[in-house]
Structure 1
Amino acid sequence: MKKITLLGLLVISLSSFAQQKSTGDVTLSTNMTANLTLNNTTSKATLKLTGPSDRWFALQFGNFGAGGGMETGEDFVYANGTTLIDGNHAGYAQFPNTDASQSWTVTSNTVTSGIRTIIAERNLSTGDANDYTFNYANTTIDFAWSRRSNAGYALNNHGSGNRGYNVSVPLSASLGVDDFSLKTSAIYPNPSNGNFSIETKTGLDKINVYSQTGTLVETINIEGKSNTVEVSLKSLQTGVYLIELQNDQEKTWKKIIIR
């Protein structure tokens, strides 16, 4: 009886930790990789995308199979040399559309030895018809990639040698190791009426609030390195804002919506 009880507790314990699924680092082409992680606890998707820093590179994701790249309405993102752009395809060999609502929030954008690494996150389901809905129950996902054939950031015909597919990429649950960085911080409710709770696994020193145009609109200093902070931004107009979370070790960005 003890053995059965202990085994049951172990299964429950393991299942409680296995709240993330990841593709791991998927090699798309030379100097280009993708890593997608779905978090069932926070209902967030995190994408790490790498590619050559001197040109645009793009990733389409969803359920489309080999040959389904650039079909009308398919969701994709691309690095334009400055940030990550959220878009949808307008059909084969047609210039894509840029989504009116940019659902991905870039938390890191670095260049090392000619390789750009972008880390961004968004909700599993954004409510935007142009966005693919990530389903945590899925066991695979399809990737299609492309990049410019030469240096430059203006979108152009990439040519047949600069595109490809990685389909049925496994999404595997893993226990992993707890991440105590600021990027794992949770903000709720979001959207809200201006009152937010921010939970971190590490201390928080300061919060900067920016408009979408990059204007600093408010700074909140946190005393005592609290892991849970109640924030009131009800004085701000309704809309989308970016908040910068800081401590003495790091900083990260999150998107909030005030209704």
Structure 2
Amino acid sequence: MKKITLSLFTLLFTSVFFGQTYSTGTLVLNSNNGTNLNYSAKIDVTSALITLTLIGPSTGWLGIGFDNTTMGDSGDVVIFDGTNLTDRTFNGFSAPTLDAQQDWTVTSNTVSGGVRTVVGTRARDTGDANDYVFSASAQSLNIIYARKVADFTISYHGSNSCGSILANVTLGNDNFKIEDFKLYPNPSKGFTNIELPVNIESGVVKLYDALGRVVKNQAISRNDNQINTSELTAGTYILVLRTEYGNATKTLLIN
């Protein structure tokens, strides 16, 4: 019985852990002087995999560098050359050199109305010293980017065709719903507990009576989640949970 319980726990833990996706969301990329490049990027991170989406002109190469602040850094860069997402390394301001180990796989490459959308994947940690290792959690990430409109020759991109941005990689909203928080016991007899969804560590609970008055305002956390209702009269209340990921509402009955 213990082995079955342990196996079930391991399975549940693994499915939750490996199901988490962290994302930059869609990053609209502008040049250093603010000119729109008609270029965007999105980076999705799981514990095992990186998914990179680049959207830009279909007539030239598209490039993005991870954990770099300038193109003079000696850091990881990926360039779509018309066919492949090529793994490269900056070596000053000259064209980035190809890595001996190529880790990106193009999974989708479509063109519509002169706009290319290319999607590729690689391991989060490739084991290659030239590749940036993404954290499997929320993080801030310095990104540099450039694109060339005219051709696919990996050379100077031209003025107003590059820039840098500080991206915030946060937990993707598709991993949980704030409405999934649990409220028990309900009806309440003296107290009720709030079970927060996976990855939400804290929030604020507001309890409203039938007249819309706030009768309880309490901060909660995963380890301190009990609401004392013993001083409230019997009836129906609206409980609002406020978190950094949004708000959710449930009805609480008090006997």
TM interval, short-chain normalised: 0.5 to 0.7
**Contact 1:83–1:109 (8 Å) recurs in 2:** no
TM-score, structure 1 as length reference: 0.56
Q: Deviation digits for residues 51-79 of structure 1, max 9, x if unmatched? A: 111011210112x34xx22312x101111
Could you tell me which residue of structure 2 aligns to residue 174 of structure 1? Answer: 172
Q: Deviation digits for residues 4-63 of structure 1, max 9, x if unmatched? A: xxxxxxxx99x93771100011011332111001112xx11111111111011210112x
- Which portions of structure 1, spanning 4 or more consecutive aligned residues, are displaced by more than 6 angstroms? none
SS at match of 2:174: coil
Could you tell me which residue of structure 1 aligns to residue 245 of structure 2? Answer: none
Identity of matched residues, %: 34
Q: Calculate the aligned-residue CA RMSD, in Å.
A: 2.3
Within 5 Å, give how 1:126-137 maps onto structure 2. 126-137=126-137
Could you tell me which residue of structure 2 aligns to residue 31 of structure 1? Answer: 38
Q: 1:46 aligns with which of 37, 44, 51?
A: 51
Distance (Å, rounded) in 2 between the aligned partners of 1:97 and 1:174: 33
Supply the AA of the counterpart residue of 1:78: I
Q: Which runs of 5+ in 2 are unaligned?
A: 1-11, 31-36, 177-255
State yes or no: 1:162 paired with 2:169: no
Distance (Å, rounded) in 1 between the aligned partners of 2:135 and 2:172: 17
**Contact 1:21–1:173 (8 Å) recurs in 2:** yes
Could you tell me which residue of structure 1 aligns to residue 107 of structure 2? Answer: 107
Distance (Å, rounded) in 2 between the aligned partners of 1:126 and 1:45: 10
Q: Which runs of 5+ in 1 are unaligned?
A: 1-11, 179-259
**Contact 2:77–2:96 (8 Å) recurs in 1:** no
Distance (Å, rounded) in 1 between the aligned partners of 2:173 and 2:80: 30
Could you tell me which residue of structure 1 aligns to residue 73 of structure 2? Answer: 71
Distance (Å, rounded) in 2 between the aligned partners of 1:177 and 1:20: 7
**Contact 1:32–1:50 (8 Å) recurs in 2:** yes
TM-score, structure 2 as length reference: 0.57
Supply the AA of the counterpart residue of 2:131: D
| Larger Rg over CA atoms | 2
